[in-house]
Amino acid sequence: MAKKHFKSGFVAIVGRPNVGKSTLMNHVIGQKIAIMSDKPQTTRNKIHGVFTTEDTQIVFLDTPGIHKRQSKLGDYMNQTAFNTLGEVEAVLFLIDASEGLGGGDRFIAEQLKQVKTPVILVLNKIDRIEPEALLPLIEQYRKLYDFAEIVPISAKMGNNVNRLLEQIQKYLPEGPQYYPDDQITDHPEQFVIAELVREKILHMTREEVPHSIAVMIEDMKVQDNGVVHIMAVIFVERDSQKGIIIGKQGAMLKEVGKQARIDIQNLLGSKIFLELWVKVKKDWRNQDRVLRDLGFHRDA
């Protein structure tokens, strides 16, 4: 039975790389579905997170960080972010308050002028700045764009996030509940698992590796004893990167598997056996066929 006066809709989160988009969505959803890293350009696909209450359902689209493209993958990431803007009820323009207004924010604000969707400015990481610096910063951003709302938050600490959710609800129409109460993402489990493995590599490897890796789940099945057997392949572009990820006597790969296993077991609610392999696909970020195989589609 449909709920009376139920409001629902889609909300895009846009912003420069590393401003805290995934952190915000994970905090709202209450579970890790988008990976987090201190390295930029962590998110590559639109991640759908579902937040549901008794009278509201918000489907968040955590888009890739908009940045200057350096490869076909980068081009795909930017296009994915911009395509999202016309598909939603509201846009959250997330900025890093501790870094201040920069060229990247000006670029995004110009792109936002091309859409009619209400835009809420979200000043994240306010826990890193002095309170008296907030108002002057807001005034700087007001000059860029006519924002529907302006909400300062700390996604990491949870400060003011509930107020942000209240502001979003103002722009949602009455509509259906798209997903069941207990569903937090519309991505298949294999996608989330691959992302969790990639997150551990981002945390543990040097600067030359992160953007050169992709993870694909090649096999996943429940064994007779109830353990989920997962075989994942980590793709890199160079033999030297393969050596870094494997590590001395396999130590790095073993640690990646150990850390990923904890998050994956929490996600699935069952014991898992995780098998990791590393393969070299030279220059995969610029090969259309490989990008398609890894799930990067221009019309996504």
Per-10-residue mean pLDDT, the chain, length 300: 77 86 85 50 56 92 57 53 75 94 88 87 96 95 96 94 96 90 75 83 70 81 88 88 90 93 84 92 70 54
- The candidate with the shortest Cα–Cα distance to 119, out of 96, 151, 73, is 151
pLDDT at 293: 62
pLDDT at 200: 87
Asked if 249 and 201 count as a contact pair (C-beta separation under 8 A), the reply is: no
CA distances from 98 to 7, 11, 88, 199, 227 (A): 34, 24, 28, 24, 45
219: left (phi over 0), alpha (psi -120 to 50) or beta: beta
| Domain-wise residue ranges, the chain | 7-169, 189-293
- The candidate with the shortest Cα–Cα distance to 228, out of 236, 239, 237, 219, is 219
pLDDT at 290: 61
pLDDT in tens, 210-254: 567 888 888 888 888 889 899 999 988 888 889 989 999 999 999
pLDDT at 296: 56
d(CA 56, CA 8): 6
pLDDT in tens, 2-21: 556 899 999 988 888 788 88
Q: Is the pTM of this model over 0.75?
A: no
CATH code given to domain 7-169: 3.40.50.300
pLDDT at 124: 97
Residues 6 or more apart in contact with residue 103 via CB below 8 angstroms: none
Report helix angle 251-268 to 239-246, nearest 10. Answer: 70
pLDDT at 236: 86
**How far, rounded to the nearest angstrom, does the alpha carbon of residue 152 sit from its chain's CA centroid?**
20
pLDDT at 112: 85
d(CA 184, CA 294): 23
pLDDT at 113: 85
CATH code given to domain 189-293: 3.30.300.20
